[in-house]
Every structure is written in C-alpha cells, then in structure tokens.
Structure 1
Amino acid sequence: MTTVRRTPWPAGTERALGTPLQPSVVYGAESPDALDALYEGRAEGFTYAREGHPNAAVLGAKINAMEGCTDGIVTGSGMAAVTLALLALAKSGDHVLGGNQLYGRSLRLFSDELPRLGIAASTVDATDAGAVAAALRPETRAILIEVVSNPGLRIADLDAIAELAKARGIALIVDNTFTTPRAIHPFEHGADVVLHSVTKLMAGHSDVTLGWAAARDTVLAERMRVLAVTMGLTPSPFDCWLAERGLYTFDLRYDRAEENARALADMLAETQGVRRVLYPGRPDHPDAGRARQLLGARTGNMVTFDVDDSRAAANALVRAAEGLAFAPTLGDVATTLSHPATSSHRALSPEARRALGIGEGTFRVSVGVEPFEIIGETFARAVSAARGAG
C-alpha cells in the first residue's frame, strides 16, 4: 500500500529572491513546550493561519515601514480594518463620530451596524473642527476621518481635530487610503490609529482584497490583534503575496497617476459640459489652502467632476468612454471611472447624497498610469456625449 506522507521543505543555504507564497493553514511545532513558547511570545513562528502567517507578516512589515510604525495588522479587507479599529475602541453604550463624507460602506456601518450593537454613531463635517467639537459627547470614544474624503475630495481639518481629540482623551482614527503614506503620515499629525484599504492604491492592480490597521499605543495594538484573530479577520496569503509585489512599484505608480490626475483636472475644468471639478491640487478647490498645508504637492490621483444632473447624461458618458473601465473601485494601474450614486453611496437616499454634493451627474475618477493622451481623448469624447444627452 502506498502511503503519502508530508515531507519537509528542501534544506539549503540559498535564499529566494522573490518572497515565497506560503498557503499552509497549519504549522507544526517540535513539542508542547515549543508550542507554548510560540503562543507566549518567547519564540518567533506561526501556529495557525488565522493567528498569522508568513505572507501577512512580510506585507505588514512593509506597510509598517511606510507608515512609520511597528504594530500594523493586515486584515481581509479595508472594511475589516475599519470595523476592527472601531470595535477595539468602543463598546455598547459608547459613541463614535465619523466624517460625513466617509466611504459609503463606512457610512453604512455608522448608520446601521454599530447602533445594532449598542454603539451610538453619528457623522459631522470633518472639514470644520468647530462642528466636530460640537458633535462630541461625554461618551464619545473615537473619531473616524479620511484625510481626503470619498468622493467629494474634501480635506479634513486633521491637525485641529487631532488636538481636539487629544484634549478630550478620544482616539482619532485616520483612514489614509486615498492619500497613502506617499502623501501624508497621519501618525505625525496626532492620529492614534491609521488604516488602509490595501485593495486600492497600495496593491494597485485590482486583484487583491486586503486592509491594514495600526495603533500608536501598544496596549490598543494588542487589543486589535487579539480581536482580529478572534473575529477571523484573517487575510489570504495569496492576496498578501500579490500586494507585496505591488508595493515594489507603488511610488512609481502613484507619481505617474498623480501627474495624470493634475492634467485631467485642468483639462476637465476647461471642457464644455463639465459643471464642476474637484481636485485638491487646483486653486479653486474649496480646501485648497489646507491641501497645501497637509499634502504639499502630493495631491493624489483622484478627480471628481459633474456633468448634467441626469441619469441620461450619466449613461451617455459611460457608454462613450470606450476602453475605460466603469467599476466601483479605485487604485487600479489603469484609469477607472465610478458613479457614486449607483456604487459607493447607493445605500444613501437621493436627499442624503445631494447633501454630500453627490448627484446623478457626479463621477469619480481613479486616474491610472496610461499615457495622458489616451485619458484626455477618452474623457473629451465622454463629456461631449453626456452634453448631448443632458
């Protein structure tokens, strides 16, 4: 009878240049004493993939270095990172406050899921530190903001909110997905927790679903680690492996996409049929001064613009943008186009969307690295089609 046994990894003195992909769920130990040492932190290694695996450790270490911290946790998605941070800080009876232009699913978490767990949640204009102060309660435990909001591209009053949170003993959580460490390091501005949807610009190729979160305080960092393990917010080794590969070209991709975004914003501002352009690098942006203060020249790859406020115009624009991916995502190596009213913010009522400046004619562009001539020609054609349908 043939018996198939597990064999050890081939021994050698060489080291692989590329990071190996390690999909194993289970890791063997030499003895009960050795397993105790692993669980008690007296030895380094892995036991069970839900509690950590090599590919997550390698990716996490790279993002830690980018953000200037040591205790980051890789999660299965960006929303897993958001949820982890909030649940590590708040319990039933507490209150959390968020910016009113957060990512659509973050807003859904605030409006539906946190209250179901007994955590009161409300939102406020994060560009106005005075409004944030007025919205705080004695039971407020955390404030969640994005440096650059989605999809309005408004700039949070980060420094003032950080001072306010510190004075009140409230944790400040900063979602750095849009801006990334290439543009800003929120820990240097007083953030207590920083998080990312690694799915987006960091991984950069629309083939990964991952998140990352880190806390400045070591006690909170350990609480987040234990909670992530307990709730099973584990990332896929394969996704971690792909994301790590993406990080090697991150700076190059970000810089090229940012250059293209500046050019696209300027072009759209001069294009007949475009009603509004929002880009933090333009002087007509409502938060241009704060963008310069916080981000300097790093104004990102995201552009939001409006055409005629009708579904007919929106449909015509998308259909005419041949060769451009229409998708509810951002951060791909190529340019993608999204329509917040039918994607990221579809769960909100039309009235709630309009209060955030989102109409039927609002589009968000994640600008990619293609030659700008291709991008410019595509948007000129698409806006012309929308103008004819409006």
Structure 2
Amino acid sequence: MTDRLLRAGWPSSVSRPVVTPIQPSVVYASADPDELDAQYEGGAKGFTYAREGHPNAEVLAGLIDRMEGADGGIVTGSGMAAVGAALFGLLTAGDHALGADQLYGRSLRMMKEDLPRLGIATSLADPTDAAAFEAAIRPETKMILVEVVSNPTVRVADLHAIIAMARARGILVAVDNTFTTPAAVKPFDFGADIVIHSVTKLLAGHSDATLGYVVGRTPDLTQRMRVFAVTLGLTPSPFDCWLAERGLYTFDMRFARAEATAAALADRLAEVGGVRRVLYPGRRDHPDHNRVAGLLNGRPGNMVSFELDGGREAANRFVRALDQVAFAPTLGDVGTTLSHPASSSHRALTPEGRAALGISEGFFRVSVGCEPETALLQAFDAALDGVN
C-alpha cells in the first residue's frame, strides 16, 4: 500500500514537447472557488470540463482561425455539428432561413425537416443565379446558408452578389467552406458572417478524424454558437483534434498536389467515350468558370464530378472495375475516393429531386488525392474501358 495520492499532477520540465501532447482529461482542477469563478467570468484562462473546451480543441481552433483570418473559432464533433451550431444557435421560431439548393445531403435534410419542425421556415434557391436567390428572400429571412462550391455538382455560387444582397437587408450569411478551403476562399474577405468547415475532410485529410469548425465574424455571434454547442455537447475528441492538427501541417502540399491531378483527370474524362459530361471549375466548359479567378483565387480545387451513360448498370460496372480507388461517401482523404451521390449523400431525395439537381444514376463525384497522376489516370482509363 502507498499513502501517496492517486492524482499526483504533471511533471515539470525545462524543455517542451515539439508535438502537441494529447490531453484526454475530462475534468480540470482549480485552486479554489475564486479561481473557478475567474475562469468562467473571463478573468483567468483555464479549462474546467471538456464539454466546455479542452487544450487540443483550442490548439486546432487557433490554427484554423489563422487560416481563415478569424478569432475564437469553435471545434465541434463533426461538420454537421458545426452546421447545427450555426443554424440552431442563431435562429429562433418565426425566422426564415434561405439555403442553396445544392447543399450537402444532411444539410439539406436539416433545412427541409429539422428547422421547420422547430418553427423556423426554410426555402432553397439556386446560388449560381443571383436574381433567383434574391427573389427567395423574405422579410423574415435571418440567415442564408451557402456552399462556395456545391456538393456534389461542383457549381460555384455567386457569392459576391449573395453577400451584397444579404448585407443590404441585415441578413446573416453562413458559408460552408469545406470544399474550397481557405486556400481558395476566405469568406470573411467577402463579407460573410459565419464560416463553417467539416474538418474531417480536406483540412484533416486522412479519413481518421471526425470534426467540424464554426466561427462568427463578431465575438457575439461566436459566443451564441458556442453556448449552443456546449449545451448540446457537440464536443470534439481530443485525439481527433490531435490527428487533425497533424494533418493541417501538410494541408498546403496535399491541396496543391490533389488540385493539379484533379485538373488532369477532368481533362482525361472529357475525352473518353461514354462520359456524358464533366464538371470541374478549372475547365473552360464549366458553367461557372468565370468565377474561378475572382472568387476562387484561381484555385479550382480537387473535386471532379462526371456523368456516365448507361445509368445504374454502368455505374456498378465502373465501380467494380475501379478497384484501386476507394468507393466511399467521403472526400478530402490523402487517397482518391469515389462517391455515388444517388446511393449515398443524396439518397434521401426522390429521383425527381435528384434529377432537378443534375444527379443521375450515372453521376459520380471524385475527391482526388495525392497519388501519382499517371497511376490515377491509368486506373480510370482501365475502368472506363471496361464499362465501354
């Protein structure tokens, strides 16, 4: 037996770790009630309970803050938790929220089903058509939710016009910057009020951490979202935060490599028989190519979508033939992934609803990774030859 107390504290050291330590502690001890009061009231910096924040989340938030030109960002347990913190943390019954009609599938569900259930009216409009978007604004519209580049159809929103019309009416604009990342767009530079990320995707980059991030232009907006996130326990794992921090240090290199390969893949797909259309913002035949320079800073990104002739049968043959590429409903991994929105992200929509968005049974989205360009093109060539 020993008479030493179980919780002995951290060792002191004149040196410091180069890699951020993982701190899994759920609870943090304070010296006395006055010190605890000071932490809660903002007079002292510290941690209390992991649901309210922990060191690994703070380190990660600070890194993304610097990328976005923000301050005080909130890391959440998933990208959808970040979307939820913005919508539910800032809207109340009687408000109206306007969303882009090509949002991520779960964001669409939140707009169509969850907000109305709580008395918040919603509607959707085409973010590439400024006139149509403006026509959908109501007197009670309090927030607009838009993705800079839509998932999965890679259409580019007319963000300048949307933000201008929102600011003229005092409407908040929340921008999901997951596809584009701060490498292409910093939404606050364009006047956005809220920036959202699924950190799970390109920022973390290795498909081993599930996280989100949300921040407001003003401390008040961020605090209102933080209170909601803490109350509901949208808490991130310290280990996932540590993994995402590691991933961020190679983000610039990964993004540049994947973007270059994506451009080559889009060009190759456009030359292949049996491919009905290719959507990549860097190609001149993309319907929103004119926005790549001014809005996307000349960075069309790593996402390529295309449509095969032959419907579901051809889609099944293609996926089976492309056995070197992961068929998975995700994006942003260090390896290329292929997704089929009709059977994954947008499966909840009716066939008519998917058709209205241009999503057929032959429609695919490719998240290009960091493989050698030649090897990836050869894999796609072989799979398409098999289908044709």
Q: Report the TM-score, using the length of structure 2 for normalisation.
A: 0.98
Matches of 1:45 and 1:296 in 2, distance apart?
39
Query: SS at 1:295's partner residue?
Result: coil
Contact persistence 2:90–2:224 (CA under 8 A): no
Matches of 2:194 and 2:297 in 1, distance apart?
22
Aligned counterpart, 1:296? 297
Q: Percent identity?
A: 64
Cα displacement (A) at 1:358: 0.2
Contact persistence 2:185–2:297 (CA under 8 A): no
Matches of 1:136 and 1:332 in 2, distance apart?
36
Matches of 1:224 and 1:192 in 2, distance apart?
12
Q: What is the aligned residue count?
A: 387
Matches of 1:296 and 1:29 in 2, distance apart?
47
Cα displacement (A) at 1:246: 0.2
Aligned counterpart, 2:38? 37
1:225 aligns with 2:226: yes
Matches of 1:276 and 1:385 in 2, distance apart?
18
Cα displacement (A) at 1:222: 1.1
Aligned counterpart, 1:88? 89
Query: SS at 2:48's partner residue?
Result: coil
Matches of 2:181 and 2:45 in 1, distance apart?
30
Aligned counterpart, 1:359? 360
Aligned counterpart, 1:176? 177
Q: Deviations over 1:74-120 (max 9, x none)?
A: 00000000111111221111110100000010001111111111111
Cα displacement (A) at 1:2: 4.8
Matches of 2:52 and 2:263 in 1, distance apart?
42
Cα displacement (A) at 1:309: 4.1
Matches of 2:324 and 2:159 in 1, distance apart?
38
1:139 aligns with 2:140: yes
Aligned counterpart, 2:235? 234
Contact persistence 1:307–1:386 (CA under 8 A): no
Cα displacement (A) at 1:132: 1.0
Matches of 1:218 and 1:87 in 2, distance apart?
17
Cα displacement (A) at 1:323: 1.3
Aligned counterpart, 2:187? 186
Contact persistence 1:55–1:237 (CA under 8 A): yes
1:69 aligns with 2:59: no
Task: Write out aligned runs for 1:40-55 (5 A).
Answer: 40-55=41-56
Task: Write out aligned runs for 1:1-390 (5 A).
Answer: 1-2=1-2, 5-387=6-388
Contact persistence 1:142–1:171 (CA under 8 A): yes
Contact persistence 1:326–1:338 (CA under 8 A): yes
Counterpart AA for 1:37: A
Contact persistence 1:61–1:72 (CA under 8 A): yes
Matches of 2:387 and 2:116 in 1, distance apart?
40
Contact persistence 1:273–1:384 (CA under 8 A): no
Contact persistence 1:309–1:362 (CA under 8 A): no
Query: SS at 1:91's partner residue?
Result: coil
Matches of 1:89 and 1:20 in 2, distance apart?
34
Counterpart AA for 1:51: E
Counterpart AA for 1:383: L
Query: SS at 2:369's partner residue?
Result: coil
Cα displacement (A) at 1:384: 2.1
Contact persistence 2:200–2:210 (CA under 8 A): yes
Runs of 4+ in 1 over 3 A off after TM superposition: 1-4
Cα displacement (A) at 1:23: 0.3
Query: SS at 1:275's partner residue?
Result: strand
Counterpart AA for 1:65: R
Matches of 2:104 and 2:351 in 1, distance apart?
16
Query: SS at 2:290's partner residue?
Result: helix
Cα displacement (A) at 1:231: 1.1
